[in-house]
Amino acid sequence: MMEIPITRPHLAGGEQEAVAEAIASGWISQGPRVREFEAAFAARVGAADAVATTSCTTALALALYVSGVGPGDEVIVPSLSFIATANAVWHCGARPVFADVDPRTYNLDAAAAERAITSRTKVIMPVHQVGLPADMDAFFELAERRGVVIVEDAACAIGASYKGGPIGSLGPLACFSLHPRKVITTGEGGMIAVQDPAVAERLRRLRAHGMDTSDLARHAARDVVVEAYPERGWNSRMTDMQAALGLCQLQALDHILRRRRELAERYTAALQQIPEIEAPYDPPYAQRTWQSYCVRIAPGASIDRNELMRRLLNEGIATRRGVMAIHEEASYSGPDIGLRHTEAASRETLMLPLFPDLSEEQQDYVIERLATCLLAQAA
Ligand SMILES: Cc1ncc(COP(=O)(O)O)c(C=O)c1O
C-alpha cells in the first residue's frame, strides 16, 4: 500500500546552505535578508513594496490596523475560511461579520458582502480561497461606492492573478502566508503587499514595537542612534534565517506553480470518469495557484464525505475536509445567519493530495482508490 501525504513542502535545494550562511553572518533576527526578501517578493507580486511578518495572521491584523480597524468596528469576511481570517479581526478588537460565498468558486460573494454592510463596517476582507482569486472588480466597485476599504486575505495566493494582474498588485493591502501548507514557505511567516510607501513605512514600525529605527538602520549608522516610539506596536518580525529560506523558495515558485497546475489538470481530467465527485470550478478570469485541490461529493452520491475520507485513509491516502465554516465553531457561533452555500460547501468538500513532488504514479493510485471506494459503497 502506498502512503501519500496531503502535502509536502517543495525544497529546491540550496535552502540549508542559505540558512547556514544567515546564521554564520551573525544576522539571526531581522536584518538584510528580510529586506532583500521583501524587495524580491514585492517585485514578484507587482506591489510597490512588501513588509514581512511572522505569519499571515499577524500580517492581516497589521493590515486591518493601518486600515483604521479598532474596537467597535466591523469587518466583513467569509465564514468559509480558515479561522485565522476571523481571529485577525478579533486581534484588532473588532467584530468579524460573516457573509456567504459563491457556491461555485467558494469565494466571498460581493452581493452578500454588500448586504452585510452597516454603519460600523470599515473593511471587507475577501479571501482568495485555496489560491483562487476572488472577483476583485466587484469588490473594488463596492468599496468605492460604499466607502469601505478592501484588505485581501491572500494566504494561499502567491503567484495567482486576476484578469492578468498578479494578486498583490491590485488592492492597497494583500496578506500572504508562508506556512508550509502554502505555496512557498519560510517555516512560519507572512508578507503584506503594500502600494502606499507611507503605509509600508508605518507597517515596518508597527511590526517592531512601534520603534522608528530598524536594527538595519542602527547597524549602518555612523553615530549613536536614540530611537523613539511614536506609536504603540507589536513584535511581528521575521528572522533573517526565514528570509534566506524564502529567497530560495521564491526562485522555485514558477516550478511549483507549473507542477501544481499540471497535477490539478490531471485530476480534473480523471474525475470526468467519476461522476460522484465534482472537480473544482475554474473561472476564466483567474489564474489560480492550486494550493489545494478541493473536490465536492456530487448530490445523491452513495457515500458521505467523512466516510470517503476514512476509506481513503485506510488505503494510505491522506485527505482533509474542505474549508471550514468559521461560524459553526463554538468560538464564533451565534444566531443562525443563513450561510447556506458556506454550510453546504464545508460539509460536502474535501482536499485530495496535491504538492509539487507528488509523482504521477502516486496520483494515479489516489484516483484509482477514489473510484474503488465509491464503487465499493455503491455495490
Ligand atoms: C485563508 C487563510 N487565512 C489565513 C491563514 C493564516 O496563515 P498563517 O498560518 O500564516 O497565520 C491561513 C492559513 O492557514 C489561511 O488559509
Question: Which residue reads 529586506 in cell numbers?
Answer: 35
The residues assigned a catalytic role are: 182
pTM: 0.97
Ligand 1 contacts CB of residue 85 (under 6 A): yes
Q: So what's the pLDDT on residue 378?
A: 63
What are 328-350's pLDDT values in tens digits?
999 998 887 889 999 999 999 99
**Ligand 1 neighbour 203 (Cβ under 6 A):** no
Structure confidence by residue, pLDDT tens digits, 224-258: 999 999 999 999 999 999 999 999 999 999 999 99
DSSP state, 230? S
221 CA to centre of ligand 1 in angstroms = 37
Q: Which residue has the higher pLDDT, 125 or 376?
A: 125
Judge if the beta carbon of residue 128 lies within 6 A of ligand 1: no
C-alpha cell at 52: 514581512
Q: How far apart are CA 83 and CA 316, in angstroms?
A: 28
pLDDT in the model for residue 379: 63
The per-residue pLDDT of the chain, averaged, comes to: 96
Query: b or e along 275-304 (b: 16 or more beta carbons within 10 Å of the residue's beta carbon)?
Result: ebbbbbeeeeebbbbbbbbbbbbeeebebe
If one residue of 179, 184, 346 were mutated to test the ligand 1 pocket, choosing by the most ligand atoms within 8 A of its CB, it would be 179
Give the residue ranges of DSSP H helices in the chain. Answer: 15-25, 32-45, 56-66, 84-91, 110-115, 136-146, 197-206, 215-220, 240-271, 305-314, 340-348, 360-378
